[in-house]
Chains A and B, each alone.
Chain A
Amino acid sequence: MPPALRAVLGKLITTLIVLFGVSILIFCIARIIPGDPVRIALGPNASQDMVDALRAQMHLDAPLVTQYVYFLRDVLHGDFGMSLYSKRPVIADIAQFLPATLELMIVAGIIMVGVGLPMGILAARTRDRWPDHLVRVITLLGVSAPGFVWAVVLMLIFAYFVPIFPIAGRISNSFQIPQVTGFMLVDTLLAGNLAAFADAFRHIILPACALAVTGIGQSARLTRANMVETYRKPYAEMAQSYGFPAGRIARRYVFKPSLIPSLTVIGLDFASMLGGAFLVESVFAWPGLSRYGVNVILVKDLNGIVGTVLVIAATFLIMNIIVDLLVWWLNPRFRLGGRS
């Protein structure tokens, strides 16, 4: 087996082990800390018979390890139980709300990379001169406030004072778009409704920007740091000695090799937007998984909490695998093996 393939397989196995660990962690949080989940589910007015019946049905009378096995079996079948909050299967809720969050994250991720990396490149090229200092202050400010502060600031400026973007929601009520993928930007295009697409696009800009601010700051700082280090490498000096154009040196000869170590962390920043989305969605009334997550937590809907956290962890891990594959693909040394 080629070493590269073995590395990817090893990564996959590790991920599965970690996911297994996450399920134990979530199970512990959900089953041990809060006391009696049946009481919570049925409410104080339920009779003892009802409680006992449900307890047996949920295998809560069995030892903890057995309970966990049942729990794992259900989860593997995609069964997270019923949501107390929505009175529907949790999995149906997640299927409904996850696409909106993913769509928001993808747009925010594009903004993060599209703004953050060029800022980092600029800072690295002008290191220790004023554009570098300016980028440093801006990016530090960016990571110094949580997403909800940026959401409020952007909303105040671009939705109230200069009302160019809508205040809340995914799309104006006047549009009726059949749900196919759950991604509004895709569904409007599938429906062939360009006006609706433009409207959905206007709706997603502000929340996506608010979600991206932290990531922009982090990716710009990381890009700068890794590029400054790469500028010290002999091959960067070679490019300068041979008089390659400075812009090309920065973008191709320094940025590209420096991207390989950056990418893993940028991928992590992207995946952490799953957390940031909680803050932004609630400001912009974005009907995504995060808003659902907050609601289930506030009503202590255990099945909803477990389902949401597990799905988020799985999404997070899948994204990490994708990033690892991307790094692997970008780095010819991994791809081709070769002598070390």
Chain B
Amino acid sequence: MDDLTLRIRDLNLRFKSLFSDTAVLHGISLHIRRGERVALVGESGSGKSVTARIVLGTLQELKTSRISGTVEVMGRDLKKMTEKERYALRGRDISMIFQDPTSSLNPVFRIAELFHEVLKRRDPGISAAAARARAAQMLAQVSIHEPERALDSYAFQLSGGMNQRIMIAMALANEPALLLADEPGTALDVTVQAQTLELMREMVERNATSVLFISHNLGVVREFADRVYVIYKGRIVEHGTTEALFADPRHPYTRALMAAVPRLTGGGIPDVPEVSESFFDPMITHEGLREPEPTR
């Protein structure tokens, strides 16, 4: 199965400190194939974002985290890699887009300098001029009409939509195999968010990039993803293709979540469903889908 970009099997995560021990993930499994766009949907605090941070390898560096289970990126087990090897994946094979583009771009550097640093991840010796040319080319691809002006600006001088385009261009500049999108553009206007998501979709389709799309917003997920995992309190409760899941939501929590979402592609956080015992019902996997067997 070489076309598996990401495979997570029975992932557990706890945060342990002197006075507390909090379990965050209770054995979740998911997979993404090459070019697939997979959504992980749940409320805030359900464990979506920490999953992305484990894939990136940044949570492993935290002293208080206790992680078990396997995470394979392109067939390689993260646990068997050294910290240096995990680090080598970041920015090259895996990259990330964040919730608020403007605060994710360092305020004391111009866009061109940030781009240069990003491009150095794949080509350490790249000159500033070459990086600039490549950056301008990428910015043109995300429909920025004056790339030169954007490159000479600081993030706080540009609009949120503009920064989101820049973020998308940066994330894809090194042609990563896997893109983690953590609530991309939730901080933006609804219309701007829709535009930038459309742009992101075009870009990942063109490069056959796999995407792990993390969101609380089912409306957005429906537009963007091929397949959906619903996560509740650190457990996956339902797994199906987007079409099947929206046509026939079977898990009580999924149904509650859908009932809470406004029909329109709305921004903002939907009302969290009332907690019910049935939310802890066993996981439901739609027909024809199952987690792939281990590569080795």
Contact = CB atoms under 8 A, between A and B. Distances in A.
A235 B157 contact: no
Interface string B76-117: 000000000001111110011011100111111100000001
Interface string B139-165: 000000000000000101101000000
A242 B88 contact: no
A51 interface: no
B101 to A, nearest CB: 9
A235 B107 contact: yes
Given A128-B63, A253-B106, A238 B156 contact: no
Contacts of B156: 333, 338-340
Which of A242, A253, A339 has the most chain B CB atoms inside 10 A of its CB?
Answer: A242
A132 B87 CA distance: 23
A128 B87 CA distance: 21
A63 interface: no
Given A128-B63, A338-B156, A339-B157, A242 B104 contact: no
B58 interface: yes
A233 B103 CA distance: 8
B91 A235 contact: no
Nearest to B187: A234
B96 A242 contact: yes
A216 to B, nearest CB: 25
B118 A242 contact: yes
B56 interface: yes
Given A338-B154, A338-B157, A243 B107 contact: no
A238 B104 contact: yes
Interface string A221-265: 000000000000111011111111000100011001100100000
B121 interface: yes
Contact of B96 (A233, A238, A252, A330): A238
B96 A241 contact: yes
Nearest to A340: B156
Nearest to A259: B108
Given A238-B96, A336-B157, A244 B91 contact: yes
A332 interface: yes
Given A241-B90, A242-B90, A338-B156, A332 B108 contact: yes
Interface in A320-340: 330-333, 336, 338-340
Contacts of A253: 106, 109
B95 A242 contact: yes
Interface in B226-272: none
Nearest to A241: B96
Contacts of A233: 103
A83 B96 CA distance: 69
B44 to A, nearest CB: 16
Contact of A257 (B87, B88, B106, B157): B106
Contacts of A257: 106-108
Contacts of B56: 241
A333 B98 contact: no
Contacts of B98: 234, 237-238
Contacts of A241: 56, 58, 90-91, 95-96, 180
B108 A242 contact: no
Nearest to B171: A242
Contacts of B180: 241
Contact of A235 (B92, B105, B159): B105
Nearest to A127: B63
Contacts of A252: 109
Contacts of B91: 241-244
Contact of A239 (B95, B106, B154): B106
A336 B154 contact: yes
A237 B180 CA distance: 13
A256 B108 contact: yes
A330 B108 CA distance: 8
A252 B113 CA distance: 11
Nearest to A248: B117
B58 A332 contact: no
Contacts of B88: 243
Given A240-B58, A336-B154, A235 B106 contact: yes
B107 A333 contact: yes
Contacts of A339: 156-157, 159
Contacts of B121: 242-244
A333 B155 CA distance: 10
Contacts of A128: 63
Contact of B100 (A234, A244, A332): A234
A333 B154 contact: yes
A330 B107 CA distance: 11
B105 A238 contact: yes
B107 A332 contact: yes
Given A242-B117, A340-B156, 15 more contacts: A235-B107, A237-B98, A238-B98, A238-B104, A239-B106, A241-B91, A241-B95, A242-B170, A243-B90, A243-B92, A244-B117, A253-B106, A260-B108, A333-B156, A336-B154
27 contacts: A128-B63, A234-B98, A234-B99, A234-B103, A235-B104, A235-B107, A238-B98, A238-B104, A238-B105, A241-B58, A241-B91, A242-B90, A242-B117, A242-B170, A243-B87, A243-B92, A244-B91, A248-B117, A253-B109, A257-B107, A330-B108, A331-B108, A332-B108, A333-B154, A333-B156, A338-B156, A339-B159
Considering the complex of A and B, which 8 residue pairs feature the smallest CB-CB distances, nearest first? A243-B90, A243-B91, A242-B91, A338-B157, A235-B106, A241-B96, A234-B104, A238-B104
Interface of A: 128-129, 233-235, 237-244, 248, 252-253, 256-257, 260, 330-333, 336, 338-340
